[in-house]
């Protein structure tokens, strides 16, 4: 199935309003990349993954910006096109559950 569960930091919150009047959020989940050894020592250690959420989950994501969270959701591939440009697509995580990650909460309590 296309279900995912990830831990990362929410960044780049962009709020949108749907034609229905419902709030939507587009954001990034910064996840740690696996260590690839000396050959990739200069590579980025974090990788952004696009998130989408609506309604109460959108408000929850916006409130957790720059915090460590655990996300559960499903993958969805979306296709885009602008006038005169070829089609392109990306895989996004459509959030079904989001909660502050326990390790983050513990580290904030001790600091």
Distances (CA, A) of 23 to 41, 53, 76, 95: 40, 9, 19, 14
Over residues 46-91, the pLDDT tens digits come to 889 999 999 999 999 999 999 999 999 999 888 777 787 777 778 8
The Cα 98–Cα 100 span in angstroms is 7
Domains identified in the chain and CATH numbers:
3-33+43-110 (2.40.50.140)
User: pTM, whole model, 2 decimals?
Assistant: 0.74
């Amino acid at each position: 199935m296309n279900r995912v569960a990830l831990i990362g930091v929410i960044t780049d919150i962009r709020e949108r309003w749907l034609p229905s009047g419902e709030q939507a959020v587009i954001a990034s989940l910064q996840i740690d990349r696996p260590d690839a050894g000396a050959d990739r020592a200069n590579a980025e250690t974090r990788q952004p993954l696009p998130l989408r959420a609506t309604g109460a989950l959108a408000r929850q994501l916006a409130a957790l910006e720059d915090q460590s969270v655990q996300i559960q959701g499903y993958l969805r591939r979306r296709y885009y096109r602008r006038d005169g440009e070829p089609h392109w697509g990306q895989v996004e995580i459509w959030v079904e559950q989001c909660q502050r990650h326990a390790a983050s909460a513990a580290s904030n309590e001790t600091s």
